[in-house]
Amino acid sequence: MTAIAGLDHRIAAARVVVLDPAGRPLDSASVAVEQVRHAFGFGNIGFDFVEWIGGPPETVGGSASEVFGGLIPPDPESLAESWLQLFNMVTLPFYWRGFEPVRGRPETARMRRTAEWFASRGVTVKGHPLLWHTLAPEWLLDEDEHSVETVIRERIRREVTEFAGVVDVWDAINEAVILPVFTAEDNAVTRLARRKGQIATVKMAFDEARAANPAVRLVLNDFDLSASYERLIEECLDAGIRIDALGVQTHMHQGYRGEEQIGEILERFSRFGLPLQLTETTLLSGALMPSHIVDLNDYQVDSWPSTAEGEARQADEIVRHYRNVVAHPAVESLTYWGITDHGAWLGAPSGLVRADGSPKPAYEALRALIREEWWYAPTHMTTDADGAIAISGFAGRYRITTSQGSVEIDLHPGHSDTVVETGR
């Protein structure tokens, strides 16, 4: 393929020399080349699959179902196949209230089964989140102001340690901008932040996670994309907190924000020189939420159906949004928040497939973008006298196959020379 306008920074151009098992260049050899994975993180949540893959909650009487979805979608095997056709990065729910509804009885086994299922299929697994004031366990309120910090530190260390090697990317702390002034419900995390300080609380989460797994990648994630988040980032960096990526939430239940507004957001946060992750993106295929709603959680309706008109709009907007985001060089991943309308957040028609599992136009439009236009089509070519072939395609993992065997290589953006050996 040739470089696509505006996406040169995503393209890998490589001269690959193919050797036989004896280390000799394969002259005039037939070579099959196919892409098997994107380097860019095309993500979605895996909440819909926890109960199907991991099994039902082990803690009877807990509240795991309210944050894990609790319901297996119709035909989960088919839904999983649709999921895997598009996405290479999954976000799994580690909301503390659901993960450990009863103190000392975390849902580690079922979540690990789910994480390993995705990882075994080449999917990068991200945990969300290690610390958040919302959905903190109710039993944490029984701790005094000093012991609550100890319990939080233990929770962070436990999860990062238990899942190391399977989950090595985490939202270290979620929505810290509002943390010290959060009043929607009493919770021990906000109490701690008021006593300890906002930046010190963020630092605690990052430090504990990194001590548990030095190889971990940690994200600071927020929905507040105002100057307040920029100030928080500046103060965290000034305090010596090592942030690996900045999470930017873009739920668009009130309508697509447009290329210009999203571009302005990406520009503002790219100034920190850190990779950006668009961690939570939604676009609706039905009626839009009224613009006067400030907290999206306040909007309640009995029925929120997907419509033909809304589905056409969603398909157009999702292609525009993905083109806009992938074109920005600072962005390393974009996670869509839900594949199906079944059990979707707030009951909104935000999925890429309908509640019955049938694909919406948005799913097909996104598949055409990710797996056709931005995908290296399987190609057969012949090596030159030096045993070399030339590959130009979206950065990612490629499989090189000759009569001697196959090997997979990672091609990075830019130009490179690579030597591979098949048949060993």
CA angle 247, 249, 255 (to 5 degrees): 160
DSSP 8-class letter at 54: I
Interval 107-166: pLDDT, tens: 999 999 999 999 999 999 999 999 999 999 999 999 998 899 999 999 999 999 999 999
Residue 64's pLDDT band (cuts 50, 70, 90): very low
Tens digits of per-residue pLDDT, 299-341?
A: 989 899 999 999 999 999 999 999 999 999 999 999 999 999 9
Q: What is the mean pLDDT of the chain?
A: 94
Q: Helix axis angle, 198-212 relative to 227-238, nearest 10°?
A: 60
Distance CA 328, CA 332 (A): 9
Cα separation, 22 vs 3, whole angstroms: 35
Q: Are 273 and 338 in contact (CB under 8 A)?
A: no
Structure tokens at 168: 């090595």
Q: What's the pLDDT band for 63 if we cut at 50, 70, 90?
A: very low
Cβ atoms of 100 and 94 within 8 Å: the answer is no
Q: Which residues lie closer than 8 Å to 210 by C-beta, 6 or more apart?
A: 216, 218, 242
Non-local CB neighbours of 419 within 8 Å, separated by 6+ positions: 16, 17, 19
CB within 8 Å of 32: residues ≥ 6 apart: 378, 379, 380, 399, 400, 401, 402
Closest by CA to 99, choosing from 110, 87, 83, 84, is 110
Burial annotation 256-275 (CB, 10 A radius, 16+ → b, else e): bbeeeebeebbeebbebebb
**Backbone angles phi and psi of 3, in degrees to 5:** -60, 140
The C-alpha atoms of residue 279 and residue 251 are separated, in whole angstroms, by: 9
Sheet (strand 379-382) strand order = 379-382, 30-38, 396-402, 405-411
Locate tokens 């699959």: which residue? 49
**What local confidence, expressed as pLDDT, does residue 74 receive?**
85
| AA identity, residue 55 | G
- What pLDDT sits at residue 72? 83
Tens-place pLDDT, residues 282-293: 999 999 999 999
Q: What is the DSSP string of 247-298?
A: EEEEEETT---HHHHHHHHHHHHHTT---EEEEEEEE-SBPPPPTT-SSGGG
Q: What is the pTM of this model?
A: 0.95
Query: Amino acid letter at 357?
Result: G
**Tens digit of each residue's pLDDT (9 = 90 or more) over 67-121:** 444 568 889 999 999 999 999 999 999 999 999 999 999 999 999 999 999 999 9
Tokens of 47: 């909440």
Token pair listed for 81:
């196949």
User: What six digits make up the tokens of 6?
Assistant: 């505006």
Beginning with the edge strand found earlier in the chain, give each strand of the sheet holding 11-19 in spatial order.
Answer: 388-394, 11-19, 414-421
CA distances from 153 to 160, 182, 242, 243, 311 (A): 11, 21, 17, 18, 44
Mean pLDDT, residues 238-256 taken together: 98
pLDDT band at 416 (very low <50, low <70, confident <90, very high): confident
pLDDT digits (tens, 9 = 90+) for 307-317: 999 999 999 99
pLDDT of residue 65: 47
Residues written for the chain: 424
Question: Which pLDDT belongs to residue 4?
Answer: 62
Q: In 3D, which of 184, 220, 179, 172 has the Cα closest to residue 198?
A: 179
CA distance linking residue 395 with residue 376, whole number of Å: 10
d(CA 203, CA 384): 55
Give residue 5's pLDDT.
63
Nearest to 288 by CA among 332, 255, 261: 255
